[in-house]
Structure 1
């Protein structure tokens, strides 16, 4: 019997779920690839254009995602995606990305979404390529820039 896929939702970070989201972690070998959720939430306070969201599977927090219209280039960027080590490889990251991509696509004033990825994060690169992102040749530090045109 095939297991039923749980419902994935994005929720606002509030006082009620703040610590649950802060305590989510990637595996040790992935820590260099993504900023902590605490740093990302702090960034959203000083860059109010950033929209941090908790990723839930039913009522269980499984990850974090943050997107914005970047103040430097006035384009949509997905700044962060992290799925807790206990919940990886279950499709949660892909579904959360699909939800954010659909939210962004409702804004007809733009037609691109950017993100930066460390190429050592092979699973992340593969996910982004499956979703339609392609490398554009730009590199900022360790981050190789990918873009989706729609």
Structure 2
């Protein structure tokens, strides 16, 4: 299983937009099309297609929040490719890439506390819950670098 992260570009953006999570996960992640639009108007937002043997099967977007903090805003694997270890491998690749950022002190991720899988999944990478976001909707978890 060859998992890679590649830039979202004119050759793969339509495939990335066609990816979808399972219906019971809709409340946990935004549509990829919306994220790509956001990234076009915010040049510091980084987008990556999660590819299996070169075919997009998932999506990431991370955003610099401060000089020392990057926040992973979007992370999804298409419903047809979940529970195969792709998300775990992809998050390792993303964290490795993000850690290359000069001056980085922490990586942040938010998740819906009602998502039964997210807390343990992110904790297994070293993310530590630090509290709810300002809206009280999502749990914030961080990794100190």
Residues 1:53 and 2:51 are matched in the alignment = no
Residues 113-143 of structure 1: CA deviation (Å, up to 9, x unaligned): 0111101222222211101101102323311
**Structure 2, unpaired ranges of 5+:** none
Q: Secondary structure at the match of 2:29?
A: coil
Residue in structure 2 matching 1:98, options 92, 103, 128? 92
C-alpha distance in structure 2 between counterparts of 1:139 and 1:97, whole Å: 22
How many residues end up aligned between the 2 structures? 143
Q: Does 1:43 align with 2:33?
A: no
Compute the displacement of 1:107 (Å).
Answer: 2.5
Question: Residue 19 of structure 1 corresponds to which residue in structure 2?
Answer: 14
Moved over 2 A (4+): 138-141
| Corresponding position of 1:67 | 62
**Cα separation, 1, equivalents of 2:117 and 2:56:** 21
- CA shift, 1:92, in A, is 1.1
The residue aligned with 2:124 is 130
Alpha-carbon separation, structure 2, partners of 1:93 and 1:12:
17
What residue number does 1:3 align with? Answer: none
* In 2, Cα distance between equivalents of 1:134 and 1:68: 19
Q: In the alignment, what sits opposite 2:70?
A: 76
More displaced 10-residue stretch of structure 1: 108-117 or 25-34: 108-117
> Displacement, 1:108?
4.4
TM-score by length of 1: 0.90
TM-score by length of 2: 0.92
Unaligned runs of 5+ in 1: 1-5
- Classify the secondary structure of the residue corresponding to 1:109: coil
